[in-house]
Chains A and B, each alone.
Chain A
C-alpha cells in the first residue's frame, strides 16, 4: 500500500509540472528550424512506464502535436488497442487552434470502438479505440493523454519520439519506474546520453529526454528507421504473462519461456501417430523422413490466422491441428514438430521476423522482436528449414520471406540466435532465352524459355501452386509489360528436388506492333522482357547510407528473325558497366536475317556511403537507357 502511494505521489508531481496550460501550443512558439520540411510538430511528449511488479505494469502517456497541413492529418488520428490483458483506463484529448486557444475537449461518446481483427485473420482478441477530431483549419494542435494497465510484463514500450518522416520534435521524454531490485534493460540508438537515474525509496526511475529534432525525410534504400532517429528500446528482465513466468535478459532465457508455452502441446492423436510410422518407418534416411512428413503436413493442413491465447503467443496444440486441419504459423509449426518427434526426429521451433523487406533484429538486445514462427531440423551435416504455412515450398527452402536473417531457435535448453540461409548471386538466377520473329508489320511471335532459381522463383512459385489455370492465364495476360500482347500457351515445370528450387517456364507470346514501323524503317528493342525500371531522382543532399539487400543475376539471350529485305541502319553499341553496385553487359549483333542480343545483369548487395548516391543514380540511368536502345532496320531500296 505504501509503495503504491509513493509511486502515486511521484506520478502526480510530474504531471503537475507537465501541465503547462493553454496558450503554450501557439504555433508562433515553434522554432523556425522545426517547421522546415515538417507536416507535424510534436510539441511535447511524456511517456511514463511503470513496472509495478512481475505481473503488472502501467503506462501513462501524453503528447501534443501540431498539424501544419493536410498531409499531417493522419498523425492527428488516435488509435489504441486493448484486450483481456491490456486495458485502457482513460483517454483525454483537447483540440487547440493555431493560437493555442482551446476549441474543445474529447467527449467519451466520440470514441469509437473497433474490431482489431485484420482482414487476413479469422479472429484476433485485440480491439481498438479510435478517435479523430476531424479538424481542418490549419494549423491546429491535438493533445492526448492516456493511461493503460497491463496484466503482463512481456512487452515494453519503445521510445521513438520521431516515429515518422516530416515530423519534428520540440520535446519528448520517457520515464521508466521500476522496483528497486528490478534490472531494467535498455538499448539506445542515435542517443549518446545516459538516462537520468533517480531513486525513491522502493522505486527506481530512469529518464530519457530530447529536444529540438528537425523533421527528416526517408530516402531510397536507406537503413532501418531506428538507425536514423533517436530510439530507446526497453527490455524486461523477469516477466509474467497469464501465469507463465520467464526472463528475457538473454536469448537463451527468452527461448526457455517460449518453450514453456508450447511444452506438452505436442501430443498427437493415435491415428496420426500410426500414419507417421506408416510413412517413415520404412525410410532409412533422416532427410527423406523429413521430406515425407513435410509433404504430409502440406497436403493435409492450411494456414488460417487465429490470434488467440497468451497474447497470441501460445500455439494451439497438435490435436487441434490434427482435427481441424488448419492453424496459424505457431500451430502448424508445432504440429510439424510433433510429427517429427513421433518419427524420432528432433526439431526446433524458431522465431523470426518475416517479410521481404523486414527490418533486421537487434541481435544484442534480447526482446520480443519477432512476428513469425518456422521450424528448423538440425541434422548431422546441415539443417533443414521448414516454412510450415506453405503448402508448396520444398523441404529445406526458405523463400525471401524468411531467408538471410537472424532467428531464435528454441529447444528445452532455451533459445539460440542463428542465421537462416542466404541466397546470393549464385542462387538467385534468372536465365532466359527468347527465340522469335518480327514481321514487316512489327508483330512479334516468340517462344520464351526461362529458368528461375531461388528467390527469383518465389513469386512464380506461389502463383503456379495456388492459382487455377484460368487465373494464371489472367495474370500472365495482365502482367507482362508489352503494349498489346497475348500469351498463347504457358507451361511450368518445378524442380523441387534440387536446392534451391528451380522453375522452368515456357511461354508462347505474341505482341502486335512490337516493333514500331515508320515508313521504311522498323525500330526494334531487342530487350523484350527484362528492362530495369528504377530511376533515381537527383539528390545532392542525400543524408543516409545506402543499403542494397537482394543479390541476383539475370542472363537474357534473344534471337529474333527479321523480315527479308531489311538491313541494319543503327545498332546499339556493346555495353559493359562494372560498378560496386553491379555488373551489366549487353551485346547486339545483326546478321542478314537475325538480331542476336545478349544481356547479363548482376546486382550486388552491400552498404554504401551516402556519397555514393550520384554514382548509383547514374548507374541506374545507364541501365535504364541501355535496356531501351533500339535496333533500326531500314528497307533496302
Chain B
C-alpha cells in the first residue's frame, strides 16, 4: 500500500533552508480593488463555481494565564464566487472545542462581501448579530454565519483567530479543497523546546518552503490565588516555517475511493518531544510503537481493564461457555454472545467512553468498548487475545512509522488458538466468526500488547470475493424450456444480501427477482442456503420456466440478467488511484438444451483478454453442438488497488466486458 507520507523534521528544515528569499502575497483584508475582480491573468479550471484567491493561515504560541502556552491560529481567506452553486461557500461554520477545563475561543471574526457596481467596489460587512452559535455537543460548538449581499461574481473575505489551550494540537492545514486555489499559505512559529514532526501528503508541490529563526517572547502567568501570581518569562528565538502552494487544482470525489483525505494536499503536525534546553530532560510525547502500545494498555479508556480479574463477568461467562469442549469452541461462543447481545452505538472510536463493566451491563457500547470487552472475556477464559487498532477505509491511512493514535478509529480483536490467529469484530450483528468488515481492509493495523506490538496488514489486495453462478436450461417432457439458477455469492455480497433480507424478507427478495423477470417467466422452488450461518457465503437458487411463443427467431443473452450493463468507470480521466474493496472473481456458466424445433443460427464468439498482462483477466467462452449451447464467463482481478496510470486500461477492460456480456445467441425455427 503506497502511503505517501513525506516527512520533514522541522529542525532539519530550519538548518537547511534559512535565508531563501521570501515571496509574499500582497493582500489585506478590506483592500479590494476593481482589478481584483478580474481573474483573467490566472489560469484555472474555467468550469469551477468558485476560486480561492488566497487562503493564509498562521499559528504561533503565546503565554497564557493558566501557567502554560496557548496556540493562536489566525486565518484570512479571500474567495471569488463565480456561479450560484458556490453560494454555499458563503455559509461558514467555525468549530470550537472545550473539554470543561481547556477551551478554544473564536476572536476577531470579521467578514465582508465585495461587489463591483458601476466600476466601484461596494463592501457589505457581516454584522455581529448575524453570527450564531450552534451547540452541537457539550464539547463542540459551531459559530455559524453567512455573508450578506452575495451574488455570482462577488468576492468574499473572512478573517478570524482561534485561541486554543490545546497546545499539543497544532492545527493542520489543507492546501487543497473543493475549489481551485491560487495561493494557499501556512506558517507556524514554534518555540525551541517543542519538537514537532510535520507530515506532508498529496501530489502537489510547495512553491515556497522556508524556515527561519525569529525572536520570541513568552510570558506565562499562573494565578497564585491569594498570594502572588507566578510569572515565567521566556525570551529567545523560535522557528518560523512557512509553506506556500500556488495554483492548486480542486479535488473531486470519484467512485472507488476510500476517502479523499488520503489524496488531498495537506500538512499536519505531531508533538514529538519537549526539551527545555540541551541539558534538561527530554519528555517524549510521541514515543515509538512500544511506548504507545504500553500507554494504551495502561489507559483507563483502553486496555486497563483487560488485565484485571473482571470477576463481574465470571458468572455470565460460565453459562455462555457451558458445555464447550475446546477453547476454540469457547472462543466462538463468546464471540457470538457479544455479537448477538450488544449494540454498537458508534463505529468510529478508538477509546472507551464507559468502563467495560458498564458496557457489559448496558449491553451496548462503541466499537472500542465492544471489541475490548470481547478481548477481556476471552482472556478471562484463558484464551490468548489482544486488541488490534486500525483506521477504517473512510477514515484514511494510518501512519506506519509514527504511533499517531489520532489516525486510528477502530478496534478489533485477535484471538489465538493452537497457533492459528482469528480476527474478530463483534460490533456487526451479521458478521461471521473470523471475518472483518470490508471497511477494515485499509492496510496497516497494529496489534497492541506488551511483548510485541507488531504490524498486521489488512490489504484489500488480499481479500478475495468469489462468486459462482450456474444456469442450466433443459427441455421438459412437454417441450417447455425449464431452467435452474444457482449462485454461490461472495462473502461481501452475502453480507449485503443478509442485510437486505433482514430489512425486508426472503420472500421480498424472490418477489423482486420475479418482478425483474416479468410475467413471462415463472420462478419457483426458491431457496436460500446458509442465511443464518454467518461464517459461510450464501447460496441462492430457484427454478424457472420460459414461455415459448413459437417465434421464427429467438434471441437471448446467455448472461440472463447477470452481466455487467454499465461500465463502473464512467469518468474519462482519473487523478488518483482506484481503490476497490477487494479482488473480484466472478464465474458464470450457462448451459441450454436447444428448444425442440429450433437450430442454432449464431452464437457469440469466444474471447479472452488480460488486464495489464497479469493484473486480471476476462474470458468468455462459447460452445455449441446440435442440441446444446454452453458458455462460460469469468472476470478475475488479481488486485484491488490501481494507480491513476492504470486507470485507462481498467476502464477499457470493463468496457469490453460490458460489450461482450451483452451479446446474443440466435436460434431459428427448423423449416
Contacts and interface: CB of A to CB of B under 8 A. Distances in A.
Given A570-B553, A625-B518, A523 B664 contact: yes
A518 B663 contact: yes
A466 B83 contact: yes
Interface in B561-593: 565-567, 570-572
A115 interface: yes
Given A71-B502, A535-B518, A537-B512, A468 B151 contact: no
B124 A325 contact: yes
B83 A468 contact: yes
Interface stretch (B141-149, B281-289, B471-479): B141-149
Interface in B601-650: 602-605
Interface residues of B, number: 66
Contact of A466 (B84, B135, B150, B552): B84
Interface stretch (A201-209, A360-368, A378-386, A509-517): A509-517
Contacts of A123: 132, 134, 144
Contacts of A299: 151
Contact of A326 (B134, B146, B514, B552): B146
A137 B511 contact: no
Contacts of B515: 535-538
Given A513-B658, A570-B553, A632-B553, A518 B604 contact: yes
Contact of A136 (B124, B136, B341): B341
A164 B530 CA distance: 32
Contacts of B304: none
A211 interface: no
A122 B341 contact: no
Contact of B135 (A115, A473, A518): A115
B587 to A, nearest CB: 22
A112 B136 CA distance: 10
A467 interface: yes
Interface in A58-75: 70-71
A4 to B, nearest CB: 34
B9 to A, nearest CB: 40
A469 B363 contact: no
A324 interface: yes
B343 A519 contact: no
Nearest to B344: A134
Contacts of A465: 84
A478 B91 CA distance: 28
A497 interface: no
Given A123-B144, A516-B664, A519-B605, A471 B85 contact: yes
A391 B150 CA distance: 13
A513 B518 contact: no
Contact of B518 (A70, A523, A570, A624): A624
Contacts of A513: 655, 658-659, 662
B96 to A, nearest CB: 14
B98 interface: no
A268 B515 CA distance: 60
A300 B343 CA distance: 51
Interface in B106-156: 124, 130, 132, 134-138, 144-146, 148-151
B570 A136 contact: no
A122 B149 contact: no
A494 interface: no
B602 A518 contact: yes
A136 B343 contact: yes
Contacts of A570: 552-553, 555
Interface string A520-560: 11010000000000011110000000000000000000000
A459 interface: no
B148 A621 contact: no
A483 interface: yes
B296 interface: no
A122 B87 CA distance: 13
Identify which of A113, A324, A512, A624 gathers the most chain B CB atoms within 10 Å of its CB: A324
Interface in B314-345: 340-343, 345
B555 A523 contact: yes
Contacts of A12: none
Contacts of B605: 519
Contacts of B503: 71
B87 A468 contact: no
B540 interface: no
Given A115-B134, A134-B364, A325-B124, A471 B47 contact: yes
B13 interface: no
Contacts of A537: 511-512, 514-515
A625 B515 CA distance: 12
B663 A517 contact: yes
Contacts of B512: 537
A470 interface: yes
Interface in B77-93: 82-87, 91
B565 A483 contact: yes
B3 to A, nearest CB: 29
A483 B566 contact: yes
A486 B567 CA distance: 12
Interface string A466-487: 1111110100011000011010
Contacts of A70: 429, 502
Nearest to B362: A134
Identify which of A134, A471, A484, A538 gathers the most chain B CB atoms within 10 Å of its CB: A484
B602 A483 contact: no
Contact of A304 (B45, B49, B146, B572): B146
Given A466-B85, A521-B664, A537-B514, A135 B343 contact: yes
B151 A324 contact: no
Contacts of B662: 483, 513, 516
Identify which of B144, B146, B364, B571 gathers the most chain A CB atoms within 10 Å of its CB: B146
A515 to B, nearest CB: 9
Given A466-B85, A513-B658, A324 B130 contact: yes
Contacts of A466: 83-85
A325 B48 CA distance: 24
B383 interface: no
Interface in A449-477: 465-471, 473, 477
A326 B137 CA distance: 28
A517 B553 CA distance: 16
Nearest to B142: A115
A216 to B, nearest CB: 16
B663 A469 contact: no
Contact of A535 (B340, B341, B502, B516): B516
A569 interface: yes
B497 interface: no
Given A123-B134, A326-B146, A518 B666 contact: yes
Nearest to B126: A324
Interface string B360-390: 0011100000000000000000000000000
A520 B553 CA distance: 14
B519 interface: yes
B343 A117 contact: no
B45 A538 contact: no
B663 A516 contact: yes
A194 interface: no
B341 A484 contact: no
B342 A136 contact: yes
Nearest to A469: B47
Nearest to A515: B662
Given A516-B664, A519-B666, A632-B555, 18 more contacts: A70-B502, A104-B362, A134-B345, A134-B362, A134-B363, A137-B341, A466-B83, A467-B49, A468-B49, A471-B85, A483-B567, A512-B655, A535-B515, A535-B518, A537-B512, A570-B552, A570-B553, A624-B518
7 contacts: A122-B145, A134-B345, A137-B341, A469-B47, A523-B555, A535-B516, A538-B514
Interface of A: 70-71, 104, 112-115, 117, 122-123, 127, 132-137, 299-300, 302, 304, 323-326, 391, 442, 465-471, 473, 477-478, 483-484, 486, 512-513, 516-521, 523, 535-538, 569-570, 618, 621, 624-625, 630, 632
